[in-house]
C-alpha cells in the first residue's frame, strides 16, 4: 500500500491552563514486563500533553511584581524580599522572548515550550523507539514495499504542534527510514457547519484534542446525525458548567480564603514584606492585579514585544498572593535555561505542598472527577478520545495494518478528563458537594495526572492466530486499566490485557 502524506500543520494560538512540574518518566524501559510467549508488537499509540512551557500569559508574574513594587515604594521589603522583584523580572523577560531564535518555534513569546520541554518530547520519542526497537526497524524496513502510516495529529495550538514536531523529528533521527511514513490527516470538516466553514491545517483535530473549548466560530455542529455533534454538545455543556455553575465557582473561589490558606500565605509574605504591609493585604486596604505594560528587546534588537496585562489576575488576600507565588515557583524549573531563577528560597517545602494542594483542588473540581452530584460533566467530553484509542486497535484486530502508530499531542485540559474517563485507579474518585478535596482523603495529584508531557501509551501485541493483548503505560509506567477490568488481564501476566475482554469491559463496540 502507498502511504498518504500531507503538509505539516501550522499553528493556532490560545491561552492554556496552569503550569505543572517538568516531566520525568516513571519507570525505566529495561524493567517492563515481557510480552506473553508467542506475541509480537503490531501497533502502538500515544496521547501526550505538550512539553514544559513558560507562563501562558502576562498574569501571575505581573500581579506579583506589582505587589512587590508597592512594597518597595513603601519601604516594606525584607532582605529576602529585596531579591524577589529582580527574579520576577527575569522570569517576565524570559517569557516575553521565549522561543526567539529557537529552531522549531515560529511564534516567540508567552506560552511557548522551553528547552526543557523540547527535550521532554525529543527524549519521549527516543524511549518509544528504545522500548520497541525490533518493531520500529521492521516498520522502517517496510517503507519501500508495504509502508504503514505513522499518523500524527495535534490540537492545532502552537505548543502542541511544536511538541509533535519535536517528537517526530526525534523519531526520524532514531530511525531515518520512518520519515516517509509520517502522515498528517486532513482536519475534520466542514466546520463550522453554518455555511462558512473555516479551513484548518492538516494534522489538526480540535474535536479529538481540544474538546474542552470547542467554539461556534470554528467548530459549530448543528446536524444531529454528524458524528461530531455529541462532542460539540458536551463541550458546550462543560463550558457552561465551568463558567456558571454556582457550586463549582464557590468551591474554587473559596480555596484561597480559608483560614489555612490565609495562614500559609501570610507566612510566605512576612518573609518578604513587613508585617504592616501584609496586614494591608489581609484587611483589603491593598490589592493588586496584572495591570500595566512592559516591553523587552532581544539581544540582536530584532524582536521587541510589548504586552499589557488584562487586570483579571488579582491578589486580594494573603492566600491569593501565596497561590500566585506558587505559580512562579512551579514554573521556574522548566525555565532554568531561559530565566536561570531559583524560586525555592521564596517557597518553603510545607507551603509548597499546601499551595500545590490548592492548585490540584481547583483542577480536581473542573477538570478531574469533581463533585459526585455533578455526574460526569467534567469527563463526558473525553469519550471521543477513549473511542479513538479503541477504534485504532479495532482496525488492527480486523487485519487492517495501514497504521503503524498514532501520535496525538494535546493539553492538560484534555489529559485530566481523559484519565478520569479511562477510570485510572486513584484518579476517578469524586467527592460529595458537602465535603472537600484534600490530599488526606483523595489520591488525585496533578504531578501524576498531568505533568508537562504527561502521556498515555498503548502497545498492542498479536500472536500467530491474530489474538491481541494490550499494555498501557501512563507517564511511561506500566499501569492498570480501570479496576473493573482486572479480570481481562491475560493469564499469567501482570500488565497485559486480552483486547476482546478489555473492550467489552469498557463497553466499546467496534464500528
Q: Tell me, what's the pLDDT at 326?
A: 96
Taking the C-alpha atoms of residue 473 and residue 496, their distance in angstroms, rounded to an integer, is: 11
Q: Which of 48, 152, 46 is nearest to 458 (CA)?
A: 46
Q: Tell me, what's the pLDDT at 444?
A: 96
Q: What is the pLDDT of residues 276-324, one digit of tens each?
A: 999 999 999 999 999 999 999 999 999 999 999 999 999 999 999 999 9
Taking the C-alpha atoms of residue 510 and residue 400, their distance in angstroms, rounded to an integer, is: 13
Looking at residue 255, what DSSP letter applies? T
The per-residue b/e assignment along 320-340, b for 16 or more CB within 10 angstroms, e otherwise, is bbbbbbbbbbbbbbbbbebbe
Taking the C-alpha atoms of residue 305 and residue 175, their distance in angstroms, rounded to an integer, is: 39
- Contact 86/61 with Cβ under 8 angstroms? no
- Determine the average pLDDT of the residues in 161-170: 96
- Determine the average pLDDT of the residues in 30-52: 97
Q: What is the pLDDT of residues 184-202, one digit of tens each?
A: 999 999 999 998 999 999 9
Query: Residue 4: pLDDT band by 50, 70, 90 thresholds?
Result: very low
Query: Residue 10: pLDDT band by 50, 70, 90 thresholds?
Result: very low
Of all residues in the chain, what percent carry a pLDDT higher than 90?
93
Q: Tell me, what's the pLDDT at 20?
A: 53
Is residue 17 predicted with pLDDT exceeding 80?
A: no
Q: Tell me, what's the pLDDT at 382?
A: 98
Q: Which of 6, 7, 14, 23 is nearest to 475 (CA)?
A: 23
Query: Residue 139: pLDDT band by 50, 70, 90 thresholds?
Result: very high
- Determine the average pLDDT of the residues in 129-154: 92
Is residue 61 predicted with pLDDT exceeding 90?
A: yes
Q: Tell me, what's the pLDDT at 7?
A: 35
Taking the C-alpha atoms of residue 166 and residue 8, their distance in angstroms, rounded to an integer, is: 12
Taking the C-alpha atoms of residue 258 and residue 41, their distance in angstroms, rounded to an integer, is: 52
Instruction: For 371, list phi and psi in degrees, rounded to 5.
Output: -85, 135
Within 10 angstroms of residue 375's Cβ, the number of other Cβ atoms is: 11
Taking the C-alpha atoms of residue 151 and residue 149, their distance in angstroms, rounded to an integer, is: 6
Instruction: Report the phi/psi class of residue 14: left, alpha or beta, with left for phi > 0 and alpha for psi in -120 to 50.
Output: beta
Q: What is the pLDDT of residues 70-88, one digit of tens each?
A: 999 999 999 999 999 999 9
- Terminal Cα-to-Cα distance of the chain (whole angstroms): 23
User: 3-state class of 112 per DSSP?
Assistant: coil
Give the residues across from 472 on adjacent strands. Answer: 458
Q: What is the pLDDT of residues 415-469, one digit of tens each?
A: 999 999 999 998 999 999 999 999 999 999 999 999 999 999 999 999 999 999 9
Is residue 1 predicted with pLDDT exceeding 60?
A: no
Q: Maximum Cα–Cα distance for the chain, whole Å?
A: 78
Map 47-86 to HEC letters: EEECCCECCCCCCHHHHHHHHHHHHHHCCCECHHHHHHHH
User: 3-state class of 188 per DSSP?
Assistant: coil
Average pLDDT for the chain? 94
- Determine the average pLDDT of the residues in 490-497: 97
Taking the C-alpha atoms of residue 72 and residue 475, their distance in angstroms, rounded to an integer, is: 43
Is residue 371 predicted with pLDDT exceeding 90?
A: yes
Amino acid at each position: 500500500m502507498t502511504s498518504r502524506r500531507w503538509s505539516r500543520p501550522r499553528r493556532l494560538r490560545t491561552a492554556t491552563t496552569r503550569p505543572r512540574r517538568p516531566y520525568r518518566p516513571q519507570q525505566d524501559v529495561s524493567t517492563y514486563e515481557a510480552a506473553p510467549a508467542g506475541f509480537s508488537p503490531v501497533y502502538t499509540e500515544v496521547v501526550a500533553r505538550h512539553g514544559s512551557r513558560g507562563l501562558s500569559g502576562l498574569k501571575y508574574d505581573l500581579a506579583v511584581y506589582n505587589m512587590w513594587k508597592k512594597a518597595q515604594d513603601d519601604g516594606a521589603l525584607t532582605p529576602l524580599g529585596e531579591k524577589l522583584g529582580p527574579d520576577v523580572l527575569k522570569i517576565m523577560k524570559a517569557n516575553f522572548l521565549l522561543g526567539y531564535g529557537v529552531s522549531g518555534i515560529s511564534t516567540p513569546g508567552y506560552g511557548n515550550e522551553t528547552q526543557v520541554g523540547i527535550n521532554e518530547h525529543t527524549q519521549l520519542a527516543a524511549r518509544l523507539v528504545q522500548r520497541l526497537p525490533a518493531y520500529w526497524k521492521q516498520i522502517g524496513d517496510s517503507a519501500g514495499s508495504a509502508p504503514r502510516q505513522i499518523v500524527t495529529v495535534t490540537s492545532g495550538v502552537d505548543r502542541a504542534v511544536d511538541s509533535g514536531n519535536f517528537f517526530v523529528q526525534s523519531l526520524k533521527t532514531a530511525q531515518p527510514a520512518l520519515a516517509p511514513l509520517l502522515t498528517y490527516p486532513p482536519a475534520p470538516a466542514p466546520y463550522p457547519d453554518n455555511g462558512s466553514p473555516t479551513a484548518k491545517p492538516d494534522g489538526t483535530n480540535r474535536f479529538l484534542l481540544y474538546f474542552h473549548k470547542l467554539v461556534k466560530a470554528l467548530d459549530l455542529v448543528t446536524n444531529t446525525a454528524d458524528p461530531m455533534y455529541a462532542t460539540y454538545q458536551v463541550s458546550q455543556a462543560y463550558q457552561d458548567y465551568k463558567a456558571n455553575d454556582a457550586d463549582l465557582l464557590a468551591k474554587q473561589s473559596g480555596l484561597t480564603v480559608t483560614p489555612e490558606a490565609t495562614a500559609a500565605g501570610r507566612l510566605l509574605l512576612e518573609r518578604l514584606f513587613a508585617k504592616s504591609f501584609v496586614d494591608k493585604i489581609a484587611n483589603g486596604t491593598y490589592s493588586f492585579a496584572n495591570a500595566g505594560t512592559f516591553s523587552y528587546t532581544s539581544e540582536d534588537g530584532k524582536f521587541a514585544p510589548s504586552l499589557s496585562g488584562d487586570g483579571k489576575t488579582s491578589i486580594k488576600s494573603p492566600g491569593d498572593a501565596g497561590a500566585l507565588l506558587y505559580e512562579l515557583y512551579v514554573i521556574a524549573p522548566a525555565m532554568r535555561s531561559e530565566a536561570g531563577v531559583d524560586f525555592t528560597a521564596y517557597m518553603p517545602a510545607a507551603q509548597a505542598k499546601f499551595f500545590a494542594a490548592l492548585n490540584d483542588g481547583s483542577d480536581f473540581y473542573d477538570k478531574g472527577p469533581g463533585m459526585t452530584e455533578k455526574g460526569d460533566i467534567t469527563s463526558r467530553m473525553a469519550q471521543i478520545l477513549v473511542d479513538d484509542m479503541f477504534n485504532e486497535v479495532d482496525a488492527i484486530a480486523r487485519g487492517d495494518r495501514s497504521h503503524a502508530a498514532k501520535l496525538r499531542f494535546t493539553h492538560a485540559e484534555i489529559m485530566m478528563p481523559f484519565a478520569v474517563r479511562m477510570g485510572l485507579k486513584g484518579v476517578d474518585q469524586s467527592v460529595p458537594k458537602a465535603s472537600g478535596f484534600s490530599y488526606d482523603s483523595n489520591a488525585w495529584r496533578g504531578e501524576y495526572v498531568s505533568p508537562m508531557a504527561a502521556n498515555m501509551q498503548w502497545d498492542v501485541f498479536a500472536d500467530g492466530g491474530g489474538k491481541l493483548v494490550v499494555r498501557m503505560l501512563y507517564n511511561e509506567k506500566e499501569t492498570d486499566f480501570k479496576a473493573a477490568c482486572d479480570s481481562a488481564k491475560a493469564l499469567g501476566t501482570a500488565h497485559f490485557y486480552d483486547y476482546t475482554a478489555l473492550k467489552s469491559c469498557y463497553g466499546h463496540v467496534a464500528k
